[in-house]
Amino acid sequence: MEAPLLVPMDRALQLDAEFDRFLEENPHVFRQFRMICCKLKAKGHDRWGAKAIWEILRYQMALETNAPAGGPRLNNNMVSRMARKVMEEEDFAGFFELRSLKGGEPD
């Protein structure tokens, strides 16, 4: 009997799965990302850069946590998916300019 062929996961689906796992393990990152969006909206900003918020979170995590310098990191592959997740909420629709997802759009 032949072994079943393993089909490599589509890159977009792989990144989606990694993002879902990251959110499950780090729900505080989404809450902090969203909180920054809320503060920006409250100041009258209708658009902002997701990458800028991501870098703020990196800075905050480096200073405000006890995680070792080589510990878990905020992977850049997560930024566009985080922006899309926030924009699922009506209050944040159009808050970020979207481009194609790294790895392509999932089927």
pTM: 0.80
Burial readout 58-75 (b: 16 or more C-beta within 10 A, e: otherwise): eeebeeeeeeeeeeeebe
Structural domain count, the chain: 1
Q: Which domain holds residue 30?
A: 25-92
Report if residue 36 sits inside a domain.
yes
Q: What percent of the chain has pLDDT over 90?
A: 57
Report if residue 13 sits inside a domain.
no
Residue 67's pLDDT is what? 61
Residue 62's pLDDT is what? 81
- According to DSSP, residue 92 is labeled G
Question: pLDDT tens for residues 53-72?
Answer: 999 999 988 887 666 666 55
Report if residue 1 sits inside a domain.
no
Confidence of residue 3 (pLDDT cuts 50, 70, 90): low
Question: pLDDT tens for residues 12-25?
Answer: 889 899 999 999 98
